[in-house]
Structure 1
């Protein structure tokens, strides 16, 4: 079991904030992020609130020695999650925060050197690792899906012909999945890059899934085993409230659906955090509202299920965004309490045979210590051969003769 890794990243002022001469209300020291209330008396306890996270990324001023670049964020989070996927675990990285807080920049970035986000960097690194694999027994295959959840509907961005509402189904072992979602085989990073470009033409909010499969010959069982890991990279919609956006009509309805997803996500995170803090006896009665929105249903395994998960909370440094930023920090603070139960996704039969053979080998070693040799005969039958240990008299005789032989020499 492992907790959700949580990082917070603060961006530079945007043009709107500069024109309004906003003040920076975010301070970071090590892994601690502090926010100052611009309306509170500096001498009161409500003036500043502090939160501790796995990572606090200061990306406010590039000239600052403590500045965290795109590469720094990827090295801390992306590299670790990619390695987990090669070990056979499902992994998920999702970005959360208000519109314009820097989620898309962190996840996708820009098409310039050093400006690429987690998604392009993890895709490049994935194929670098596959290329550098020196074992002739291991073969890899990679499939990509690209979808968006918009107004509680799932759209396939890699299949323009399929404009309908894709259904979310439940697999008894693998959990929720999107029925008829395209899975396209890719051979290189350029393939993924081209698919993302195509999908971006139709997207509003995006989530990328990569299914990486590695198969190898298990030396213990002499069987071809397979590990399958799913890498989910999610760029969530903005988390601002309707009254702060000024949205009306259709936009207000769209915002209501987005808020439904994010409100449900908040409820799920809070419920999971509460369960993690309770005793084992009281956990059975708790209800997690995963099915209240399509987003949380699809993220079920990533939130408290079979996944290694990281959340990146993107925040604005400006005083005019204090309420939204504080809300994001509270979300992130609850998310770090969630405990996931990730397991290696490998062939169950090969795993069982390997474990049984390992157990047999241990038992043979124990019998050998007792003087019993175990081996297989030509007809496949197991033969037990008991070897008598040397007698005490013989050992004593050898010990007495040793010094005599030494003197005569």
Structure 2
């Protein structure tokens, strides 16, 4: 676990087509951020007011072309690893409406009729669930093999040994399936309740956490 208990990361989303059209109609000048390195970005300001560009330094900067996988590797996976080590882990996603919080955390919005989704677009939450279950499965499998090896060495009766192996492995399979279902049910419940609405971009930032 890193010595830093809190990390602050920033992700920039690409400009949408509607924003590009609006800029053209209003004659606005595009002033994209300048990524200096993995931790620093320079943000342009209104030239009419003679404001100098603002340099922002965070623990990590994700440019607009960053992928969902990169966000998970830097944000989600360390949190799952920390949780498995016994630490409390929380991801707090903060930003203005339309900034891309839902996309980063969950992936693209889909309707009930859309059953398939490109896994490359999965957000941090579904990737964390998959990674967590993978880690738990690996740990359970290692434990089952160790118990099986001990039984083989200690028990001379083949029939008794066979029964014990079944008792050792069956509960772990049931437990893994139960955890998986609970995760998916919670995830689907949130996605069902969260409806996409057309809202005016407000000045007060909103947030989500997991």
Residue in 1 aligned with 2:127? 121
8 Å contact 1:9–1:56 — kept in the other structure?
yes
SS at match of 1:96: strand
Distance 2:91 2:123 in 1: 12
* Structure 1 position 55, deviation (Å): 0.8
Q: Root-mean-square deviation (CA), in Å?
A: 3.5
1:116 offset after TM fit, Å? 0.5
1:36 pairs, out of 40, 44, 51, with 44
Structure 2 CA distance for aligned equivalents of residues 53 and 132 of structure 1: 34
2:79 is aligned to: 81
Instruction: Say which of 70, 73, 91 aligns to 1:72.
Output: 70
CA drift of 1:106 comes to: 0.5
What's the secondary structure of 2:193's corresponding residue? coil
**Higher relative helix content:** 2
The residue correspondences of 1:325-336 to structure 2 (distance < 5 A) are none
CA contact (8 A) 1:25 1:37 kept: no
| TM-score of the superposed pair, with normalisation by structure 1 | 0.35
Number of the residue aligned with 1:90 = 88
Q: Where do 1:139-158 residues align within 5 Å?
A: none
Match of 1:99 among 82, 97, 100: 97
- Paired residues, what number? 163
Structure 1 Cα separation of the partners of residues 44 and 75 of structure 2: 27
Q: Does 1:49 align with 2:54?
A: yes
Write the distance in 2 (CA, Å) between the matches of 1:72 and 1:199.
24
Q: Deviations over 1:321-376 (max 9, x none)?
A: xxxxxxxxxxxxxxxxxxxxxxxxxxxxxxxxxxxxxxxxxxxxxxxxxxxxxxxx
Offset from partner CA, 1:41-100 (integer Å, 9 cap, x none): 6xx5x32000111111112xxxxxxx3100011111111111100000010001111111
Aligned twin of 1:14 = 16
Q: How many Å separate the matches in 1 of 2:78 and 2:190?
A: 27
* Residues 177-224 of structure 1: CA deviation (Å, up to 9, x unaligned): xxxxxxxx9422x6533432233322369xxxxxxxxxxxxxxxxxxx
Cα deviation, residue 239, structure 1: 8.3
- Which structure shows the bigger proportion of residues in strand conformation? 1
Is the aligned partner of 1:132 residue 2:138?
A: yes
What is the DSSP-based 3-state SS (H/G/I as helix, E as strand, rest coil) of the residue aligned with 2:35? strand
Between the aligned partners of 1:36 and 1:85, the Cα distance in structure 2 is: 38
Please give the alpha-carbon distance, in whole angstroms, between the structure 2 residues aligned to 1:193 and 1:135: 25
Contact 2:98 2:201 in 1 (8 A): no
The 1:40–1:135 alpha-carbon spacing in structure 2 relative to 1, beyond 3 Å, is farther
Which structure exhibits the higher relative contact order, with contacts defined as CA atoms closer than 8 Å and separated by 6 or more residues?
A: 1
What is residue 386 of structure 1 aligned with on the other side?
none
In structure 2, C-alpha distance between the alignment counterparts of 1:15 and 1:191, rounded to whole Å: 38
Q: Which runs of 5+ in 2 are unaligned?
A: 109-116, 148-170
Whole-angstrom distance in 2 between the partners of 1:8 and 1:199? 24
Structure 1 partner of 2:179: 187
